[in-house]
Structure 1
C-alpha cells in the first residue's frame, strides 16, 4: 500500500517543496507517490488522454483543471481502473497499478469519488459507509453459519463507520435513508465511504459540483483535513477560487494533454493556461483601415473564417444550425471559432 505521511506537512514545508519545482508539464517532484508515463486513450478519432509524464507529490493537494473535454475525468478513470488505456504505464511508489480492477486499486490504497454521487438510496447512511470496508468476513456465504467468525469485525466496522459520520457531521442522519440526503451531504457521504479503506491517496472528481454554497466552506475544510491526516489528494475542479484556496500545486490539461503545472499563485501568469481557457488570440487587437476593412492579422483571421464557412456550405452544411464548428486546420492564425454545443460548455471527457 502507498505510504501515507506519518506527520502532515506544514504550509511552510509544502511551499518549500514546490519552490524548486519547474513550472512546466511533467515537472519532477521531490517525493512523488504517483507517476504516470505515456498514458493515452482514444475514442474513435478523438484522443481523450495523451499524458507524456506526470508526477503527483506525496502529502499535498494537487488540483487538476482544464476546459470541458480536456480529459480530466478520463484520466481519473484510467488511473483507478475504471477504464483501460491504449498505451502507457503508471505506478504508485514503484508498484504498477496498470491492468488492475477498481477494487484492486482501492485495496492498494488509492480511492476515488465521482462527479455524480453513487449512494444506495434504499440503504441507511450508516450502511452506505459500512459498505466501503474491505475484507468483510460476513460477506462469505459459508460464514453465515458461523457468526462468531465475523461478529467482532462487524462491530469494529460499524464503530469506524460511525466515527467517520461524526467527522463529516453526518452522525445525526446515520439511520436515515441515503436517498433523503442533499447533494452536498451525498458528497460528504462518498468521502466518508472512501475513507473506510484507510487510503493513502484520495482522488476527488469535482467534489463541489452540485453543492449548495452554504456547504462549500465545510466541504473545503474536510478536503484540507485529508491532507492534514497525511493523505495525498488529487481533485478535479472548475472553480478557480477553490483551486487557489486549497491547492498546493496545479496541473492543467487541455485536449487530453498536460499543458502546464504551477503553484496556484502563479497560475494566472501562465500563458498556456490563459490560452487554453480563452484561446491563443484572446488578447489580439483588431485592426481596421479608415473604411472599416480589416487589415494585418485581423484580415487573416477574417479570411480564415470566410474560408471555413465556404467549405461548410460547399459540404452541404447549414450555418444557421448551432452545430457548426469551423475546422481549426484552415486557420493560419490558429484560431478556431466555436459555436453550438461546444460553446455551451458540454463536456466530452
Structure 2
C-alpha cells in the first residue's frame, strides 16, 4: 500500500470544512462543472447546475440506474456533447474538447464494459496508454533510433505497472483471454500509463469476481494515497462507504445531495432517490442497497 502524502491528508481535512449541500464549492477543486445539460428527446439525462470534485481525494458518484452518472462521465471526457454547460479541469476549459485531448490533459476514464483490445497482448494494450510516442509519427517511425529509446521506457513502465497490479505473468497473453476482473485491472493499469491527475472509474466492481474485489479496492486507495484524484461511479454502497472521502448523489440527472459517506447514507433525499418517497430508511443497511450492476439507460 502507498503511504499517504501530506497533500492527500490536507485535502481530506479540507473537506471537513465544506457544507453538505448540492453543488457546494470545494477548497481545491480539480474538476468544476456548471450548467451542464444533456437531453435525449424529451428526457433530461443530465441537468447539473454545479458540481466540483476536490483534488487528491476519492469522490463517489452514486444514484439509481438512469440517474445520468455515466452520461455525465461521457460529457466530461469528450465522449459525448452537451446541449449546454461549461466545465474546466485544473483551470483549463474542456467543453467541446475531443476525448484524446482530455486524456492528454491528465483526465482519464475507464468504462462499465472494459475496452481492452482482445487480439493484442496485455503488454501491447498497456503501451497504447502512454503519451508522447514518436513511433506514431510517419517520419520518425522510419528511423528506429528516434523511437526505440522511448519504446524501451514505455515498456519498462508498462511492466512495472503490470507487476503492481499482479498482471506481469499475463504480459504476453492476449487481453481477450483475461477474466472480467483481470480486464478491470488491466484497464486501470493502462489508465496510469499517462500519469493522470484525475482517474474516473465507471463501475470498477461490476462483474468482478469477489476474489479480486479487495485487490481493486486496494489499488483505488493507493491511487489516492499517491496523489491521484479519483472519481468513481458505483452501486455497491459497502464499497462506497469503505473507500470514499466524499459522496455526490445524482437522481434524474440532477445533483440532489453531497457529503461524507455516513451523512449521505442517512439523507432523506438520497433514500427517496433510491427507494421512492415516504420511506423512513437508513441507507447504511447494505441489504437495501445492493443493486445489480447493470448498464445505465442514460
In the alignment, the residues of structure 2 paired with residue 347 and residue 31 of structure 1 have an alpha-carbon distance, to the nearest angstrom, of: 30
The answer to whether 1:208 aligns with 2:157 is: no
How far apart, in 2, do the equivalents of 1:120 and 1:282 lie? 45
Contact residue 184 and residue 211 of structure 1 kept, 8 A: yes
Counterparts of 1:262 and 1:81 in 2: how far apart (Å)?
Answer: 27
Give the unaligned 5+ runs of structure 1: 285-343
* Offset of residue 281 of structure 1: 1.8
2:296 corresponds to which residue?
Answer: 347
Q: 1:92 aligns with which of 76, 89, 94?
A: 89
TM-score (norm 2): 0.92
* Count of matched residue positions in the alignment of Structure 1 and Structure 2: 285
**What is the CA–CA distance in structure 1 between the aligned matches of 2:28 and 2:12, rounded to whole Å?**
14
Q: How far is the alpha carbon of 1:139 from its aligned partner? A: 1.6
TM-superposed deviation, 1:283: 4.2
The answer to whether the aligner puts 1:268 opposite 2:217 as a matched pair is no
On the 8 A contact 1:91/1:98 being kept in 2, the answer is: yes
Counterparts of 1:112 and 1:269 in 2: how far apart (Å)?
29
Given that 1:14 and 1:248 are in contact with CA atoms closer than 8 Å, whether structure 2 keeps it comes out as no
Give a deviation string over 1:301-347, Cα, whole Å, max 9, x none.
Answer: xxxxxxxxxxxxxxxxxxxxxxxxxxxxxxxxxxxxxxxxxxx9773
Deviation at 1:282, TM superposition (A): 2.6
**Relative to 1, partners in 2 of residues 1:143 and 1:16: Cα closer, same or farther, differing over 3 Å?**
closer
Unpaired runs of 5+ residues, structure 2, are 282-292
Offset at residue 36 of structure 1 (A)? 0.5
Q: How does 1:305-344 map to 2 (within 5 A)?
A: none
Distance 1:94 1:346, change over 3 A: closer
Shift of 1:7: 4.6
1:238 and 2:235 matched: yes
1:1-349 alignment runs, 5 A limit = 7-10=6-9, 13-283=10-280, 347-349=296-298
Report if aligned partners of 2:32, 2:53 keep a CA contact under 8 Å in 1: yes
Counterpart Cα distance in 1 of 2:98 and 2:264: 35
Shift of 1:258: 0.2
| 1:345/1:157 CA distance change after superposition, 3 Å | closer
Q: 1:157 to 1:15 in 2, by over 3 A?
A: closer
State the shift of 1:249 in Å.
0.1
- After superposition, what is the alpha-carbon deviation per residue over 1:19-70, rounded to whole angstroms, capped at 9, x for unaligned? 2211110011111111101000000010000000011000000000000000
User: How much has 1:267 moved relative to structure 2?
Assistant: 1.8
Superposed CA RMSD in Å reads 1.8
1:118-177 Cα shifts (integer Å, max 9, x gaps): 111111111100011122111222223211111101100100111110111100111111
Instruction: Report the secondary structure of 2:8's partner residue.
Output: coil
Q: Distance in 2 between matches of 1:140 and 1:345?
A: 40
| TM-score in terms of structure 1 length | 0.79
Q: Distance in 1 between matches of 2:104 and 2:294?
A: 36
Which deviates more from structure 2 when the two are superposed, residues 262-271 or residues 59-68? 262-271
In structure 2, what is the Cα distance between the partners aligned to 1:212 and 1:14? 32
Contact residue 8 and residue 229 of structure 1 kept, 8 A = no
Quote how far apart the aligned CAs of 1:268 are.
Answer: 2.2
Q: Greater relative contact order (Cα 8 A, min sep 6): structure 1 or 2?
A: 2
Structure 1 counterpart SS, 2:78: coil
SS in 2 for 1:250: strand
2:108 touches 2:199 (CA, 8 Å); kept in 1?
Answer: yes
- Structure 1 residues 20, 118: closer, same or farther in 2, change over 3 A? same
Larger gyration radius, structure 1 or structure 2: 1
